[in-house]
Structure formats: C-alpha cells, structure tokens
Amino acid sequence: MISTVSFHPFISHFPPALFFSGLTLLFLAHKKNDTKLISSATFNLSLGLFAAIIANFSGMVSVDINLRTVVDVEGHQGYAFLFTLFYGFSAGYAYTNTFSRTAVGFYIAGLLAMGACLFSGYQMVFS
C-alpha cells in the first residue's frame, strides 16, 4: 500500500511532463499540419489533467503537510489549483478549437502557472 506521503511526489511528476509534451505535440501538429499529432496531444493533455486532479487531492491529504509553514503549503496549493484550472481549459480547447487565440492564451497561461507550481513545490522540498 502506498501512503499519501509517498503517493503525492510520485503522481505529481506526471502532469507537468504530460502538459509540456502535449503542447510540444500541438506545436509540431501546427507546424506539420498533421491531425494524428493533434490526437496524441489531446490524449496527453487528458491523461495529464486526470493526473493533476489526483495530485491535487493527494497533496491536500498528505500526512507531512504539517511539517511546512502555512504560507508555503497554501501558496503551492493555490498555484496547483490554478495550473489544474488552466490545464482543464487547455485540454478542452485542444479538443474543440485547437489553434485559436484563446486556446494559445490558455496554453501560455498554463505554462506560467506550471512554472510557479513547480517552483513552489521545489522550494517546499529543498528548503
């Protein structure tokens, strides 16, 4: 049985990797005009969104959450929620209106939120 302490760090690596690979596949699909790459990108974004939701819930119930300051934990949770929100919009737009200006805005906002979430998580682990 995997405890919540070890489950969150295990699952939390998948959402950023799948988001970045999904956006890379979308970029290549736009460059090469290939619909198969769009299908692969949407699949990556869908799996990553599912993993992000699981990572959010496993982070909220993590046993070692009391070992950190409230500011650190709530900051990271806020960035994680924002990233998951942009992740959902990005996955939805990847299926419906892949290369619209709004979709590209959500992709960029998702990358920025991902960076903030990763940095705040990095600070919690290595400080």
Q: What share of the chain is helix, strand, coil (3-state, %, to 5)?
A: 85, 0, 15
pLDDT (0 to 100) of residue 5:
56
pTM comes to 0.91
Say if residues 91 and 44 touch (Cβ distance below 8 Å).
no
**Per-residue 3-state assignment (H helix, E strand, C coil) for 26-37:** HHHHHHHCCHHH
For the segment 101-118, what is each residue's pLDDT rounded down to a tens digit?
Answer: 999 999 999 999 999 999
Q: Domain residues of the chain, as ranges? A: 4-126
6 pLDDT band, cuts 50/70/90, is low
Distances from the Cα of 59 to the Cα of 47, 49, 86, 120, angstroms: 18, 15, 18, 13
Joined together, the tokens standing for residue 56 give 């959010």
pLDDT in tens, 58-90: 888 876 667 778 888 899 999 999 999 999 999
For residue range 48-60, what is the model confidence (pLDDT) as tens digits?
999 999 999 988 8
- Name the residue with tokens 């682990």: 125
Give the pLDDT of residue 47.
Answer: 97
